[in-house]
Amino acid sequence: MAEWAIAVQAVHKQFGRGKRRVHAVDDLTLEVQSGQVYGFLGPNGAGKTTTIRMILDLITPTKGQVRLFGQPVRHHAGVLNRVGALVEGATFYPYLTGRKNLEVLARTGGYFDPARIQSLLELVGMADRADRPARGYSTGMKQRMGVAAALLGNPDLVILDEPTNGLDPAGIQDMRSLIRRLVDEQGKTVFLSSHMLNEVEQICDRVAIINRGKLVREGAVKALLAEKTRLRIEASPVEKAMQILAPQWTLSADGDSSFYVQAGREQAPQIVERLVTSGSQVYQVMIQQQSLEELFFEATQGAN
Amino acid sequence: MVQVFRAEWEKIFGNRFMAMFLIWIYPVGTVTMLALTALVALLSVEMRESIRLAPPTWMDQALLTWTIVNSEIGRLFVVALAAQVFAAEYHHSMWKNLLPRRPRLHLFLNKFLTMGVIVLFAFISMSVIAGIGSGIVVWLAGGTYGPVPTAELLREFLPVVGNELLVAFLAALFATCYAALACVITHSMVMATLAALLITIGEQTIPIILLWIGSLANAPELGRLWLWFPGYNLGNLASWGRDGQGYVPLFLQGINVEAPSALTSLVVIIVWLAFLIGVSTWYFRRQDIMN
């Protein structure tokens, strides 16, 4: 049986009281299997960071509980030693150098090892700038150091909240490949919260989308995207072809020579046959999946 | 635990500006004062003459430092340092990086431990520097620095200085507790410093308040409550070490009150410290870390 790296069980978080009461997270249940990249998506204020903070025992759920690797996370309980995290923008002691910051964090965790710190600095491309005070770091440099800090204790579960914020395109690409390597080569689990939907689509195995504190979609990326495939058909004459299919399928026009049919791959031969037998000329049939971006907007705007 | 202590130490001393003004000021300030005195002694015949005629003893000099650190101004530096130590994590949004690595209780109590060690380091170094440095000043002035530290003299002196050290340390711990509590509530260095100072100074007004309420209620014995407060017990403990007897505050001398023993005062102080550390730790453990 697969081990759940994260199990968020009917968690609810409420801030404030009376008229000022805000339900940041509302009856959220999530299960993240070990050894995968799990994307956690949602618009601003959806409750992503609150959920991450509850996973890390930084804030207490009003109801429900969070378990990591089968153990409840409340009051640390030792299981957080298996977790490394970058939460809501990397922060450091500005007066210490980047290296010293990592040393302080490593000592706090009880896994101080100068060689590991050096190798992590090299991994995130900060080795040559590690001995400068952190106050002079750009956002991108801080993010790189934040990822190094998250990996200090060689954790089994890495939680990254917007890790590519402030990174240049090359940095984003490096981060993407690093995240995949952590899972594919080192067997870690990565829980990734990001606004970069294209990035999530490329590297995540599963995603959860939350909106207003509630889970609105969850599943394997491939399966979610395959849920809504459509066929783009280039045929002539277009009007006639659309008339033939209209009674059975939902259609939408796409320029003068093609149109979309809301149908899956398995229906393509039937549609083509229908068109050909009725005298239409079919030039091209393309199967199109919806993008994660489309899925995200559908899920979050639909809920709104 | 050694590693966590080391991490806290590096954070505190890594902030050079803070370390200079709130920690190094004790030994460096003492060295500076002594250097200035030595310079004046070298330049002024009258000064040399006065030192030669009435040279201070090393015992007086070593004890003088404790008077300074036990003063309200001396306490100010401890409060400010404690506020920096406890509020730094809120100020730099560092709790989110630290808490997943170690239980809250460990991290919070470690701050008290580190503060205690730093305060001891600062106070003891100041006392030792004052004792030795004054000897150099007296020597420069051509005087005799005494008395010779015989075993018998040390046997008498060490308990006295030890008691002063204990009182100073406990007072510093109270200041740290007030600052810690204010920090976990306000998350602000400035607010924590102000709040801790207000509590430290405000405690001295409690006898007046008790007297006032006592006179209104026609119950002067209400003043006895002051004997259960940290401020009185610190003073009583110091009095036992310095004079070999406790003290009864002037406003309580009209009613039949006896000064508690040194041990009683020590127990009261420990209970208060345990309560204050417990409250701030309890509050911190339940706190949501939002930044």
Output the 3-class SS for A21-78.
CEEEEEEEEEEEECCCEEEEECCCCCCHHHHHHHHCCCCCCCEEEEEECCEECCCCCC
User: Is A92's Cβ below 8 Å from some Cβ in B?
Assistant: yes
Output the six-digit token pair for B19. 């370390």
Q: How far apart are CA A155 and CA B138, in angstroms?
A: 61
Residue B99, pLDDT above cutoff 80: yes
Q: Which residues in chain A are contacts of B113 at CB distance < 8 A?
A: none
Query: What is the length of chain A?
Result: 304
Interface confidence, given as ipTM, is: 0.87
| Contact state of A108 with B17 under an 8 Å Cβ cutoff | no
Average pLDDT over residues A280-295: 87
pLDDT in tens, B59-83: 888 888 887 777 777 888 888 899 9
Q: Which of A87, A104, A117 to mutate to test the interface with B (most CBs of B within 10 A)?
A: A104
Name chain B contacts of A112, Cβ cutoff 8 Å: 3
pLDDT in the model for residue A291: 81
pLDDT at A76 over 70: no
Distance from CA of A45 to the nearest CA of B (A): 14
Question: In chain B, which residues have their Cβ closer than 8 Å to the Cβ of A107?
Answer: 3-4, 6-7, 10
CA-CA distance, A44 to B232, in Å (whole number)? 54
Chain A partners within 8 Å of B281 (Cβ): none
Are A75 and B104 in contact (CB < 8 Å)? Answer: yes
Percent of chain B with pLDDT over 70: 100
A302 pLDDT band, cuts 50/70/90, is low
Q: Which domains does chain A carry?
A: 4-224 (3.40.50.300), 226-294 (3.30.70.270)
Say what the pLDDT of residue B258 is: 87
Is some CB atom of chain B closer than 8 A to the CB atom of A99?
no
Contact call for B101 and A105, based on CB within 8 A: yes
For A171, the token pair is 């940095």
Nearest chain B residue to A62 by CA: give it.
Answer: B288
CA distance to partner chain B, nearest, from residue A15 (Å) = 10
Contact B7 A104 (CB under 8 A): yes
pLDDT at A52: 95
Q: With contacts defined as CB-CB under 8 Å, which chain A residues touch B102?
A: 76, 108-110
Angle, in degrees to the nearest 10, between helices B58-69 and B72-91: 50
Interface residue A88 vs chain B (CB under 8 A): yes
For residue B205, pLDDT over 90 is answered with no
Residues of chain B with a CB closer than 8 angstroms to some CB in chain A: 3-4, 6-7, 10-11, 14-17, 88, 92-104, 107, 285-286, 288-290
Task: Please tell me which residue of chain A has the smallest CA distance to B91.
Answer: A93
Average pLDDT, chain A: 91
Of the pLDDT bands very low, low, confident and very high (cuts 50, 70, 90), residue B177 is very high
pLDDT band at A2; cut points 50, 70, 90:
low
Nearest CB partner across the interface for B97, out of A59, A105, A107: A105
With contacts defined as CB-CB under 8 Å, which chain A residues touch B285? Answer: 75
Q: What is the DSSP string of A81-124?
A: GGEEEE-SS----TTSBHHHHHHHHHHHHT---HHHHHHHHHHT
Residue of A nearest to B10 (CA): A104
- Please judge whether A95 and B103 are an interchain contact, meaning their C-beta atoms are less than 8 angstroms apart: no
- The two tokens of residue A192 are 């990734």
- Contacts of B14-19 with C-beta under 8 Å, sequence gap 24+, read B14/A93, B14/A95, B14/A96, B14/A100, B14/A104, B15/A93, B15/A95, B15/B84, B15/B88, B16/A95, B17/A95, B18/B81, B18/B84
When pLDDT is averaged across residues A154-175 and rounded to a whole number, the result is: 91
Encoded tokens for A250: 């939902």
Chain A partners within 8 Å of B282 (Cβ): none
pTM reported for the whole predicted model: 0.87
pLDDT value at A24 more than 70: yes
Q: What is the pLDDT of residues B103-133, one digit of tens each?
A: 999 999 999 999 999 988 888 898 889 889 9
Interval A146-155: pLDDT, tens: 999 999 999 9
How far B17 CA lies from chain A's nearest CA (Å)?
9
Mean pLDDT score, A191-219: 91
> Which residues, 6 or more positions from B198, have their beta carbon under 8 angstroms from its beta carbon?
none
Q: List, edge to edge, every strand of the sheet that includes A189-193.
A: A83-86, A157-161, A189-193, A37-41, A206-211, A214-220
Nearest CA in chain A to B110: A108
